[in-house]
Structure 1
Amino acid sequence: MYKENKRTRRIKRPSTWIRMNPAQALSVGFLILIGIGTLLLMLPFATKDRHHLSFIDALFEATSAVCVTGLVVVDTQTTFTVFGQVVLMVLIQVGGLGFMTFGVLIAIMLGKNIGLKGRLMIQESLNQLTIEGMVRLVKFVVAFTLIVEAIGAIILAIRWTEDFGFPKALYYGAFHSVSAFNNAGFDLMGNFSSVTGYIGDFTVIMTLSSLLIIGGIGYIVLLDIKINKSLRKLSLHTKLVLLMTLILNILGTIFIFILEFNNPATIGDLGMKEKLLGSYFHGVVPRTAGFNSLNTGELTLGSQLITMLLMFIGGGSGGTAGGIKVTTFALILLAVWALIKEDEEVNLMGRRIPKELIFRAFTITVYSMGLIALVVFLLSLTENAPLNMLLFEVISAFGTVGMSLGLTPDLSPLGKLLIALMMFAGRVGPLTLAFALARKREKANYKYAEEKIMIG
């Protein structure tokens, strides 16, 4: 009897882990990765002064890297040694592609089969609708990422050779290419300057913006384009992501150009070429790269609001971008328009959108807005800063953007922890995090009587 009970206990322990749903496993995996990164960044030889970072600063930096955000409490170039910078680059790469992607890649290289649970994990990690073709998608994601990052690194290295010399230019090219493709926003330019010194440099601006756009539209979109190669054959999801990305990039550029045209602290005193490049870059990066060619602290209030809206929307699903995603934003607009027209269905390009997707879009948006409001309220109690700075910081963390009005280095320890939690929630996904924490409930086999309520 004793042996039987002991055997039962041994079986139950691993079964609890096995029964962990993909959302919970994904969240735990990111936490483990953040923990490893924190310990590595706390090593004395990770920093140039040989004095290890405090736990809260190392945790913040590791979270920002794994969650591909780019918010920093210490300057990356002047604080970290090459070892520390490489640790950040690896965390960005693994966090951007997803640790499950690397896990599956290693399993494939070892000749192991990927079971159902592994495919479900990949599906959750890359935010896909089905588990069909998950292994093929992982192979494409890794190969495509390495090729694009290599091309970006070479272009940047060639451009920066005249500024830094070839060895340093190659290293800078690799670091910034990885950071840009994964929409992380970490830079090595020093003094929290990002790429403000290259506002009129066509090569740097267009290379970085191209990398972040490609990385941010989503791997399923890139695979769809590779397979079909024809606009008519593309899926509705791909068409919508490409259309919304184009519209938001154009509108973002136009608004920034108009609002900052006469602002001497940003583009007001620059030539037309610099104004156009600076406006374009700032119109693109809030969704969700984190680099900045303009001094965000000097933006007009109107530009700050536009930037916050773009950060909240984010990029495409299943990519390296954050935010509520462009498809979520588009479905909300379509649902509102359908309601105004008194249409019973939401239609797009000759297709009907399932109602459960509309509900999901509204749920993600309301949940995200509530989370942002809660953290802003908490920061108002811990930080001595204007509301616009707090709101900008929180939305940047949630959208895994990395832009700041200058508040990040001055945050209190509790404020840093709140922003770190926000970055984690933004990367894992608000709905995924909610599913990970929620207890599974069985569906009720009954419905309550219907009764109407007056609204509006």
Structure 2
Amino acid sequence: MATKQEQLLHISDKSPVLRFVTTVRDFVDRVANSSPARLALIVFALVILLFTSLLSLPIAAANGQVTPFHDALFTAVSAVCVTGLTTVSTALHWTFFGQLVILIGIFVGGLGILTLASLMSLMVSKRLGVRGKLIAQEAMNAGRLGEVGTLLRIVISTSVAAEVVLALVLAPRFIILGEPVPLAIWHAVFYSISSFNNAGFTPHSDGVVPYETDLWILVPLMVGGFVGSLGFPVMMVLLATGFNVKRWTLHAKLTVQVSLMLLGAGAVLWAAMEWTNPQTIGYMSVGDKITHSIFASVMTRSLGFNLVDMNAMNSPTMLLTDALMFAGGGSASTAGGIKVTTLAVMFLAIVAEARGDSDVKIYGRTIPQGTMRVAISVIMMGATFVLVATGLLLGISGASLDRVLFETISAFATVGLSTGLSAELPPSGVYVLSVLMFAGRVGSITLAAALALRQRRQLYHYPEERPIIG
């Protein structure tokens, strides 16, 4: 009598579907165990292609026509990479189906590249290999490998819970403002998912500008975006320990501290630079100026909603916005940029070097040399991406450097603030920004995770010799 394994093999020999499933499962197992980072890239690319196909359907466009490939691809990349840049109006070009596809893309992309790769590995092969668990552990700062599966469920449930709360807060306000109940609920859900995932997409043709003095709408958007930018590892620490700072992990302490510092400094500097600008906030009351400044500081960190015309800002303000966008939010979060912990580690390394300390120390902990090498790699890779893309777009668009640099950093840092350049670019420029958004969303995370595991034992060391630095 044939064994169960032999029966399955016999069935698979006759069934093309089973052969295909087996092939896919074996491929996922092989890639997940040999290179989880590569699996993450493949998964993210496949997800983007799926949403591009859906947005290319005539049912997704308001005019009933097939959306040009470069516009569908750009929108799909922007949604899955939770950026918010657009080449066509989200409110006017897309039907409800198209907007729903975008919203699902934002939610899926907000879970993160490594989370998606881990979920795919679990769904296809029913297990997560050791290297896959190590990657997920590194991404979510899990204490033990056995916690990874539980943390994946917590990530999804936390996202859903936060977005439901935001929607419940926003829906009554849209109803009070006169919107039909179904439309108000839809707009509340859209804004809740878009804000928590730091996407910056808006279902209104004029964005959030009509609500520039409405704190009932602005405050939930700011809170949702800021909490989302902290990252799932920090949120899980806060849920477990509350505000008992002594029990926080070093990552949580650095992320919260630097995020609050950047929020405060960004608001003060933005206000100082735009206080008298009549094209932005110069004509407003003191209270509205303060609201706009805080809102702008939160938005530039990755969320991407805007209350003022980016082209109307003063040049120093645009430079400040570039810097805040490049810094971004927390690691393993829905925000982009080089991440605040990267910034913190490099600052601490500079301070240690200035003091002559051999170790980089903070909060009673020593930061490993390997972590600093990863931070340097992330910063250099980000700067290289921005430099190359800026050069390409300058040649393609012929626009001024400040507009091109602003759009480039916004795309790389997955912020979504725009001077309108994205909609003006030819298809070649749109593809450049699409690649940049993809690289910005998956590049630094994957690089950091991959490098963190590339620790190999060396049996010998060459003699040390210091080159002259500086």
Same fold (TM over 0.5): yes
Question: How do residues 309-348 of structure 1 correspond to structure 2 at under 5 angstroms?
Answer: 309-348=323-362
Structure 1 residues 11 and 411: alpha-carbon distance in aligned structure 2, compared to 1, 3 A threshold: closer
Question: How do residues 81-160 of structure 1 correspond to structure 2 at under 5 angstroms?
Answer: 81-98=95-112, 101=115, 114-116=128-130, 118-120=132-134, 122-123=136-137, 126=140, 131-160=145-174
Q: Relative to structure 2, which stretch is displaced further, 145-154 or 128-137?
A: 128-137
- Out of 263, 283, 286, the residue aligned to residue 272 of structure 1 is 286
* Number of residue pairs the alignment of both structures matches: 444
Match of 2:392 in 1: 378
Match of 1:165 in 2: 180
Match of 2:239 in 1: 226
Q: Judge conservation of contact 1:364–1:430 (CA < 8 Å) in 2.
A: yes
Q: TM-score, normalised by structure 1?
A: 0.90
In structure 1, what is the Cα distance between the partners aligned to 2:125 and 2:87?
42
Structure 1 residues 378 and 127: alpha-carbon distance in aligned structure 2, compared to 1, 3 A threshold: farther
Match of 2:436 in 1: 422
- Out of 251, 257, 261, the residue aligned to residue 247 of structure 1 is 261
Q: Relative to structure 2, which stretch is displaced further, 90-99 or 33-42?
A: 90-99
Match of 1:451 in 2: 465
Structure 1 residues 356 and 103: alpha-carbon distance in aligned structure 2, compared to 1, 3 A threshold: closer
- Out of 356, 364, 387, the residue aligned to residue 350 of structure 1 is 364
1:201 to 2:218 alignment: no
Q: Which amino acid in structure 2 is aligned with residue 405 of structure 1? A: T
Question: How do residues 54-73 of structure 1 correspond to structure 2 at under 5 angstroms?
Answer: 54-73=68-87
SS at match of 1:429: helix
Structure 1 residues 36 and 127: alpha-carbon distance in aligned structure 2, compared to 1, 3 A threshold: farther
In structure 1, what is the Cα distance between the partners aligned to 2:440 and 2:169?
31
Q: Which amino acid in structure 2 is aligned with residue 274 of structure 1? A: D
Q: Which amino acid in structure 2 is aligned with residue 383 of structure 1? A: S
Structure 1 residues 245 and 252: alpha-carbon distance in aligned structure 2, compared to 1, 3 A threshold: same
Query: Which consecutive unaligned segments of at least 5 residues does structure 1 have?
Result: 1-8
Q: Judge conservation of contact 1:71–1:402 (CA < 8 Å) in 2.
A: yes
SS at match of 2:386: helix
Structure 1 residues 333 and 233: alpha-carbon distance in aligned structure 2, compared to 1, 3 A threshold: same
Question: How do residues 424-439 of structure 1 correspond to structure 2 at under 5 angstroms?
Answer: 424-430=438-444, 432=446
Q: Which amino acid in structure 1 is aligned with residue 335 of structure 2? A: A
Q: Which amino acid in structure 2 is aligned with residue 208 of structure 1? A: L
Q: CA deviation at 1:26?
A: 0.4
Structure 1 residues 369 and 94: alpha-carbon distance in aligned structure 2, compared to 1, 3 A threshold: same
In structure 1, what is the Cα distance between the partners aligned to 2:406 and 2:129?
42
In structure 2, what is the Cα distance between the partners aligned to 1:432 and 1:105?
16
Deviation digits for residues 73-105 of structure 1 (CA, Å, limit 9, x no counterpart)? 000000000000000000000010136646867
Match of 1:213 in 2: 226
SS at match of 2:302: coil
Query: Which consecutive unaligned segments of at least 5 residues does structure 2 have?
Result: 1-22
In structure 1, what is the Cα distance between the partners aligned to 2:314 and 2:357?
40
1:402 to 2:433 alignment: no
Deviation digits for residues 219-267 of structure 1 (CA, Å, limit 9, x no counterpart)? 1111111112211111111111111111111111111111111111111
In structure 2, what is the Cα distance between the partners aligned to 1:183 and 1:10?
33
Match of 1:411 in 2: 425
Structure 1 residues 109 and 36: alpha-carbon distance in aligned structure 2, compared to 1, 3 A threshold: closer
1:292 to 2:311 alignment: no
Structure 1 residues 282 and 12: alpha-carbon distance in aligned structure 2, compared to 1, 3 A threshold: closer
Q: Judge conservation of contact 1:26–1:121 (CA < 8 Å) in 2.
A: no
Deviation digits for residues 279-319 of structure 1 (CA, Å, limit 9, x no counterpart)? 11001111111111222121111111111111101101111
Q: Judge conservation of contact 1:98–1:125 (CA < 8 Å) in 2.
A: no
Match of 2:58 in 1: 44
SS at match of 1:317: coil
In structure 2, what is the Cα distance between the partners aligned to 1:329 and 1:382?
32
Q: CA deviation at 1:185?
A: 0.5
Match of 1:178 in 2: 193
Q: Judge conservation of contact 1:22–1:120 (CA < 8 Å) in 2.
A: no
SS at match of 1:450: coil
Match of 2:204 in 1: 189
In structure 2, what is the Cα distance between the partners aligned to 1:111 and 1:436?
22
SS at match of 2:300: coil
Q: CA deviation at 1:431?
A: 6.0
SS at match of 2:301: coil
In structure 2, what is the Cα distance between the partners aligned to 1:374 and 1:159?
44
Q: CA RMSD for the aligned pairs? A: 2.8
Q: Judge conservation of contact 2:135–2:450 (CA < 8 Å) in 1.
A: no
Report percent identity of matched pairs.
Answer: 36
Structure 1 residues 10 and 287: alpha-carbon distance in aligned structure 2, compared to 1, 3 A threshold: closer
Q: CA deviation at 1:116?
A: 3.2
